[in-house]
Each structure stands twice: as structure tokens, then as C-alpha cells.
Copies of this chain bind each other. A is one copy, B any other.
Amino acid sequence: MQHDNPEVTLITADAPVSAETHGGRAKCLQRLVRLDLPVPRTIALSFKAVRAIAAGEMADGAALLEPFGPHPLLCVRPSSEDPDWGGPRAVLNIGMCDAKRAELAETLGEAAAAKLYLRFVQSYAIHVARLDPDVLDDVSDDPVKGLAEALDVYEEEAEEPFPQEPATQLIEVLRSMARAWEGTTARLLRQAKGAPADAGLGLVVQKMALGLGPGECGSGVMQLVNGATGERKITGRYMRQSQGREALSRGADAMYLERDPRGPSLEELAPEAFATLKAHTTLMREKLREEMQAEFTIENGEVFVLDGVRVTRNARTAVSIAVALAEDGIISREEALMRIEPRALNELLHRQVDPEARRDVIARGVAASPGAASGVIVFTSEAAQSMKAQDTPCILVRRETSPEDIRGMHAAAAVLTERGGMTSHAAVIGRGIGLPCVVGASAIRFQTVKRQITAPDGRVFREGDKITIDGTNGEVLAGEAALLEAGHDDSLKVLMAWADDARDIAVRANADTPRDAETARWFSAEGIGLCRTEHMFFETDRLIVMREMIFAGTSDDRAAALDRLLPMQRADFTELFRIMQGKPVCIRLLDPPLHEFLPTGRSGQRELAEALDIPLSDVTRRIEALGEYNPMLGMRGVRLGITVPEIYDMQARAIFEALIEAREEDDPVVPEMMIPLVSASREVELVKSRIDAVAGAVRRETGEEFTYRLGVMVETPRACLRAGDIAPQVAFLSFGTNDLTQMTYGLSRDDAGRFMSDYVQQGVYPEDPFHTLDIYGVGELLKIAAERARAANPDLTLSICGEHGGNPESIAFCREAGFDYVSCSPFRVPVARLAAAQLALRDKIG
């Protein structure tokens, strides 16, 4: 043993071992040693030492054997900096040779000794000598005979006898593992998990605790929690006369640890060993401050702890483990909060395709609304509704969706479209109602008239065939996939409560419907940050009236249509306000261009012609005339509010009247009315004066008092630059970063799909700016606007709404810019709450 060499060191309580130099496993083993756990003697090879071995610069294994005494059996395990980065598989029983076999035969018997030797020869042949994996397949099942055959085959194939020197065996094993780490596949795999290009590998060489032989011998793993369910129960397996992780292999003749009605257990078999093991694992949990899995061996009744690793967990168990550790006083609440990756919560909040399940991917599209669902294909909204009536889950497949498909979308389990991007109709509605949705799957051929779709590989799926939509990653799968249910358990609620204590920026939800609002409350959103009102007009009964309004020839006709819309809008808002009692509700006045409300297909146009009792040609002519070259940059938002002011008048009245109607209790909603797409302060002035006038009229008519706040949705670069003019007129500014990103880049989100992946791959954009807020361009506009607005009106509320609102990076940005709240889709509220808490905690730590 090179005592003067910190690169190769015996793991003792005070050895110079760190995760950064020797890897996480070496460090963990040192911790176990410090806890006085019975860890077999172990040496740690640093990253540097392993690099030297890979380069052939350390050829002598004898010195490494020194600490282990004469004729040891050893195992080598990888020790990368982060256990998630993987590494070569462990090699056991190094040191087996003819001499050792003879020695072991005395205690274990001939057969067991030969079996152990044979296994090592097999493992060495494949992983070290790199022989064909199948050359040893045909050796005899009888261990003694099989071993003899194996040694012959080895000599023939490797062109040298099987090495008998333990030192040679060890150094070859180490070199082989060191080189495997440097292979291209291994490098790519770990880089995909976030490892840096130069990530190092450490190795630990440990004296084997055999698990074989006389008395109670065996091996297994123990953990105090069920990693799949989060249940606090001792789980794991033990297998007599076994080594390593044999007890876990499928079909192994293993037993339970704790007493269990389903079969024999270690607790019954060897109560003392069980108690010792349980104490060790409990100590590991307490002192390592983490839920650990102990790998153990029992040798003639004596318990050895070979290794400890973090219990593998999914997002849900991660939350329950962190909460339990904090509730047990092992870690602080703050630490529990910091241990959960906010984005991982997404996994909890929607149904997911089981990551273990087979995925038969037909094609990929844009992951437009998260969650997964399976069902039969339908091509029309009518068919979707009829399936729903039969309780058959269905997937609505359309080239693109339009307002006429709303009912079908409500009836479907998921939606798939050929066209569109993250802001297409299907995507927006899908996210709004929590419907899994893949859009822009243009690799699939949509033959809606033939009622079939054709996959890029030629497979045809017809109406009634089953498919699965994975809206979380954009995949379309053939058949019905195994799904994991969404979970929102007590642990999450506890964690969220702690997050709320920690964070210093508010989180609201974007919610358009009563259902959304209920979800928002369920996720403890502190109000609604964006209620889009256009969806209210897409429901069938309103849509007809809305279209009449659009087609109105005179302002009297228009007023008549609006008069019919008023009670419907009022009812919507009344319901919303009742649900959101005591919270602020920010309502965006009508935003989309009017042509979005008109039927796109011939049959819808015919219906409209009938309903309005005008010739079809008038309808098509009018629809054509309303068409726009760039609807995103057209007659929408406040431009509508100024050109057809009666619409905003009606909406304002509906809001005020609903407010009065809904406030039976003492804690009323404070409605916030938000003007979209502003580019000049005079727009705000004009709308404000009309809304104030409507408020005055409603007050006079009803004799009731009420308050409201008026604000602007900042979506154009110009509104950012002129924020100083706008701010004094309003109570709040909320940044619509979707549209602002589109305008700052000159890039339509719906059309960007065609080249965005190219762009991100080539590093033209470091990330898709529609997913991650572009702090260098869009962000500068936000900062300019925030500074100018606050300077002009220090009482102003500042916030961000839209897709970016739930992103941890955006929340960080908004906190730094001094915003008051972020608003995101209801399902992202927990993510945002946790991310905000982590940011605040990080600041506190400094």
C-alpha cells in the first residue's frame, strides 16, 4: 500500500477522500466507516489514479493487494462523482485462482468453490479479456466439469492461460474498467445525464465478504422505504448463499427481510442479524441524512455492510422521502425543499406513460399540453362526443382544431393534430383544460376523409384503432400504453406549505374556466393572473351570438347581439368569482382577431348562413374579407377594443354585474381588467375612460359600490419602451412573454417549429426562447419596462403571465427584477411555488 500516495488510499475515518477526487461511492463508504459500520476493508483509487491506470502508467497490482492480507478475494466497484452518471459494472471475486479454489474447497466444498471460480472466469473473460460473450455458454452445468472446460476455452480464445496471479487479475480488472469509462457510448450516456466532458471515475477495491459457506451466509439489500410507492416499510431481499445483488435478480430464490405473510423472511430466519441490519440502515438514514439502500452480506451470522446508495425514487417518492426526513428532524425543511427538482413535480401532476413500459413510437410532434392518455382514434368532434357517451376513451385526430372542435375536445381523452405549434388552438385549449395534446405531427400523413392516418413507417391506423398520446414529450404511440396515475398526496401538500413559507414572490394561475379556477385553488394559487375571455365565446350557444355580433351590419344589430352575450358573460364571471372568493382575478379583455370566431369549413359556413338568414356567398365573402396576412400582428387586442368599443363595454359591464351578484360573503374578489396588445399609451387612455364610464353607470343603476383595478398586458416591444407613459394610468402591468418573445425575435411560435430544433442544435439560439425566457433580449425589454414603469408609478403591481411564468429561470429573473408575482397554468403552480422557494432560500444562504 502506497501510504504516501493520496491517490490510492485505504478508506479510514480520516483518509483524504472526497467525492470530487475519489467519487461518491468512496466518500459514502468513508462515511459508513466513520459510523463504525462493519464495512470490509476498502481502498479508494482517485480519478487521477484511474486515469493513470487507463493510460497504462500503473502496471503493478501487488502494492494494491497489500492492505488486504494474504490471498484475499476482492471486488471492484465504480465511484463516479455523481452516482447517476453510471460506470462500469462491479467485478467480484478477484483473486480466484487454482490455489484459492483449493483453499475455499476446504470450507465451502468442491462444488461451491468451483462454481465461484467458474463465475469469475466467465466474468473476467467477458469484461476484462473481452472474449465473445457466448464462448463460455456451452460449458457443463456441473461446476467442477464446467470450470475445467471454461479454463480450457479461455486459454484457447485468449491465447494464454487464465491468469493465476491476483495482482495481475486486479490490475487488469482496474484497467479494463478505467478504459470502459472512456468509451464513446459511456461518455455520451453520462453527458446526457449532465456529466461534464472530463468527468472522472474513481474505483473502490473492497475485500469480499463471501456470503457463502457454513453458518448463516448470504447477501441482500435493505431500505426503509418503498422506492416506488413511498410507503415507510422495510423493503429489500435476502438470499442465502449468494453474493452481490443476486438476491434482486428475477426469479432468484430470495426471501423478505421483515416478517411477511407472503413468505419466509430474514427476520424469522436470523432475528439478530436482521435487528443489526435494521439498526445499521436506520443509522445510515439518520447520519447520512438520506434514505439509503444498504448492500449487505451475512457471513456465518455476521453482518457486513458493503455499500450504501441513495434509494432510487420517482418524483412522488422523492417528495415523500424529503418530507419524511424533515419531519423526522433529520434534515431541515429548507433542505427538504432544496432536494426536489421543481420540474420533476410535473411528473406527479399529470398521468404519464410508465417509463418502464415498452414504447412503440409512431411519430413525434410538438409536446403542446402535458400528460398522457390512450384511446381509440376519432376524426370528428361528433364521433368524440358519441364515444364519450359510450364511456370509451378516444383520441381526437384533426389536421388542426378550430372553435367548432371545443365540444369534441372536452369529450376526448387527448388530441393529435397535423399542424400548429405551442400557441395553436389545440395547444392553448389543451393546456387550458388539462387535455394531453400533441400538435404539428407533420411526419404523420393525415387522411381525415379516408378516416385514417399513416405513420412515417407506412403503418396505417384507422378510426377505432387505439393509440396513446404522450403530451409530455410529444410522442404518439401505437396501442394502449401502461400509464402512471397523477399523484397529489399529503407529502406534496406539506412540502408546498413549506415552500409557501419560504418564498417571497407570489404565484397565480392562468385559468379561463371554472374548472381551471378550481384546479388553481386546489394548487393554492394566490389568485388568477390571466383569465382569457375568448374561450367563453367558443361554447356553442355563445358562438352563434358572437358570430351574429361580428356580422352585424349596423351598430344597433351589434348592440342587440352584445345584449344577448352580456348575461352569458356575467354568468361566467359570477361562477369564477364565487370560486375565487377573496382572491384577485385578472381578466384579459377580448384579444383574438374576430375571424377566429368564424367557421373555417364549408359546412359551418352553411350553418351560419342559415342561422343569419343570409346567402352563403355573403358569409364566405365576409369571412374572406376578415382574413389577415399575419393575424398575430393584426386587428386584435386593444385594437379591437378601440375599433369596436362596445365589446369591451359589454365585458366590463358583465364583470361589474357579476361582482355584485357573487359577493354574498364579506371577502369579495377584486377584479383586475387587463388590456391586451397595447402599443401606445393613448390606447390605455381611451379604454380606461370607457370602462370607468361603464363602472359609473353600473354604480348608478344598482346603487352598489365596488372596486376594480385596470392594467395592461405588455406584449409589444413598444409597450415596454413606453412603459413610463402607460404606468401612471394603471394599477398593474403584466408581461405576456409569449407574444413579446414573438415580436422581439420577429418569430411566430406557430411557424418556428419547422426550424427551431435545427436552430437549437446549431447553437444559433442557446435554447428555444418559447420554453426558456430569453434574458438577453426579451429580458432586457422586461427590465427597461419595469424600471420605467416603477419610476413613473411606484405602487404599480408587476407580473409575468404566459408559458414562461412557471419556469424556474423565469421566476429567478422576475424576482431579481422586483416583480410581485408570476402566473402560469394551474398544473405548473406547484412547480413555480417550489422554484420560488428555492430561489429565496438560495438568496438566504447567500
Contact = CB atoms under 8 A, between A and B. Distances in A.
Contacts of A746: 632-633, 677, 679, 715-718, 739, 743
A633 B742 contact: yes
Given A642-B758, A682-B764, 9 more contacts: A628-B748, A628-B750, A628-B751, A629-B750, A630-B631, A633-B742, A634-B751, A679-B745, A686-B762
Interface string A633-660: 1110001001100000000000000000
A420 B764 CA distance: 33
Given A679-B777, A764-B642, A751 B630 contact: yes
Contacts of A729: none
Nearest to A725: B776
Contacts of A780: 721
A744 interface: yes
Interface in A419-476: 420, 424, 442
A642 to B, nearest CB: 6
Interface in A743-776: 743-748, 750-752, 754-755, 758-759, 762-765, 774, 776
Interface centre among A424, A635, A717, A721 (most CB of B within 10 A): A717
Contact of A682 (B625, B682, B763): B763
A635 B754 contact: yes
A680 interface: yes
A20 interface: no
Contacts of A341: none
Given A643-B755, A743-B746, A717 B628 contact: no
A634 B764 contact: no
B718 A745 contact: yes
B721 A777 contact: yes
Contacts of A745: 633, 679, 716, 718
Contacts of A679: 744-747, 777
A239 to B, nearest CB: 56
Interface centre among A628, A642, A677, A718 (most CB of B within 10 A): A718
A750 to B, nearest CB: 4
Top-8 shortest CB links A-B: A633-B748, A630-B748, A718-B777, A634-B751, A716-B746, A717-B717, A629-B750, A630-B632
Contact of A633 (B442, B632, B762): B632
Interface string A727-748: 0000000000001001111111
14 contacts: A630-B631, A630-B633, A630-B751, A634-B747, A634-B751, A639-B755, A639-B759, A642-B762, A715-B746, A717-B717, A717-B743, A718-B745, A722-B776, A743-B743
B739 A718 contact: no
B721 A635 contact: no
Contacts of A743: 633, 717, 743-744, 746
A372 interface: no
A689 to B, nearest CB: 12
A683 interface: yes
A762 to B, nearest CB: 7
A716 B778 CA distance: 11
Interface of A: 420, 424, 442, 625, 628-635, 639, 642-643, 677, 679-680, 682-683, 686, 715-718, 721-722, 739, 742-748, 750-752, 754-755, 758-759, 762-765, 774, 776-778, 780-781
A697 to B, nearest CB: 22
Contacts of A633: 630, 632-633, 742-743, 745-748, 751
A634 B748 contact: yes
Contacts of A716: 744-746
B758 A744 contact: no
A737 to B, nearest CB: 13
A781 B751 contact: no
Contacts of A677: 746
Contacts of A717: 717, 743-744, 746, 777, 781
Nearest to A755: B643
A688 to B, nearest CB: 13
B629 A631 contact: yes
Contacts of A718: 744-746, 774, 777-778
A721 B739 CA distance: 17
B442 A751 contact: no
A755 B635 contact: yes
A758 B635 CA distance: 12
A743 B739 CA distance: 10
A746 B736 CA distance: 13
Nearest to A418: B625
A54 to B, nearest CB: 36
A759 to B, nearest CB: 7
Contacts of A424: 629
A679 B442 CA distance: 26
A639 B752 CA distance: 10
A675 to B, nearest CB: 13
A643 B751 CA distance: 14
A664 to B, nearest CB: 40
A330 to B, nearest CB: 47
A721 B683 contact: no
Nearest to A777: B718
Interface centre among A420, A442, A633 (most CB of B within 10 A): A633
Contacts of A748: 628-630, 632-634
A254 B819 CA distance: 81
A628 to B, nearest CB: 5
A764 B683 contact: yes
A532 to B, nearest CB: 17
A615 B104 CA distance: 78
Contacts of A755: 635, 639, 642-643
Given A744-B716, A764-B642, A765-B680, A776 B721 contact: yes
A338 to B, nearest CB: 33
A686 B635 contact: no
Contacts of A781: 717, 721
Contacts of A776: 721-722
Nearest to A746: B716
Interface centre among A632, A742, A751, A774 (most CB of B within 10 A): A751
A643 to B, nearest CB: 5
A758 B715 CA distance: 22
A839 to B, nearest CB: 25
A751 B635 CA distance: 7
A777 B632 contact: no
A223 B335 CA distance: 95
Contact of A642 (B625, B634, B680, B759): B759
Contacts of A765: 680, 682
Nearest to A640: B755
A722 B642 contact: no
A721 B778 CA distance: 9
Nearest to A628: B751
Nearest to A638: B764
B635 A680 contact: no
Contacts of A742: 633
A209 B762 CA distance: 89
A677 B748 CA distance: 13
A744 B722 CA distance: 11
Contacts of A639: 755, 759
B629 A632 contact: yes
Nearest to A399: B624
Contacts of A750: 628-630
A638 to B, nearest CB: 9
